[in-house]
């Protein structure tokens, strides 16, 4: 089994807020991240697929195909967006690093599964060089 990872970067803004809480509690729990104007990050997304190399090409998946899937399914939706306001999956959940990883998985998995030959193994999202979340599809 080979694990192949492709990396991409995107810039996006977000804030953390719970509509069921008063503003004071949002400020207490989320601090500066509760600013409804948002703040931005340069995120790094790592997408790992697993499979056996093809006997003819030696590829687990074609890297150009994987780049195109990442661009179409994640980059087009997240890059240079205000995640809370412009990305449907974050209309009702906070776009934490953890939730971004899960949402990216859900966007990518159908395309990887449909292609056959490899499976989506891991999605890792770095919010900063020191903070990342990793999702492996366990629910």
Looking at residue 129, which CATH number applies to its domain?
3.30.479.10
- Tens digit of pLDDT at every position of the chain (139 positions): 999 999 999 999 999 999 999 999 999 999 999 999 999 999 999 999 999 999 999 999 999 999 999 999 999 999 999 999 999 999 999 999 999 999 999 999 999 999 888 999 999 999 999 999 999 997 5
Q: Crossing angle, helix 63-70 and helix 97-115, to 10 degrees?
A: 130
Total structural domains within the chain:
1
How far is the C-alpha of 109 from the C-alpha of 136, rounded, in Å?
A: 11
Residue 46 annotated as catalytic = no
Query: Which residue in the list 41, 46, 73, 127 is annotated as catalytic?
Result: 127
Q: Is the dihedral of CA 12, 44, 5, 68 positive or negative?
A: positive
| Model confidence, pTM | 0.95
Query: Which residue in the list 33, 82, 89, 98 is annotated as catalytic?
Result: 33
Query: Which residue in the list 24, 52, 80, 89 is annotated as catalytic?
Result: 80
Q: 3-class SS at 132? A: strand
* Nearby residues of 120 by Cβ (< 8 Å), 6 or more positions away: 47, 48, 49, 50, 105, 108, 109, 112, 113, 137
Residue 14 annotated as catalytic = no
Residue 89 annotated as catalytic = no
């Amino acid at each position: 089994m080979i694990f192949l990872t492709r990396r991409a970067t995107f810039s996006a803004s977000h804030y953390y807020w719970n509509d069921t809480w008063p503003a004071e509690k949002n400020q207490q729990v989320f601090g500066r991240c509760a600013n409804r104007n948002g703040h931005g990050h340069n995120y790094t997304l790592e997408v790992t697929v697993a499979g056996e190399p093809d006997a003819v090409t030696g590829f687990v998946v074609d890297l150009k195909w994987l780049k195109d899937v990442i661009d179409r399914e994640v980059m087009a939706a997240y890059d240079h967006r205000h995640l809370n306001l412009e990305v449907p999956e974050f209309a009702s959940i906070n776009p934490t690093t953890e939730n971004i990883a899960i949402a990216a998985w859900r966007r990518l998995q159908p395309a990887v599964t449909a292609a056959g030959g490899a499976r989506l193994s891991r999605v890792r999202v770095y919010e900063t060089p020191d903070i990342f979340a990793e999702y492996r599809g366990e629910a």
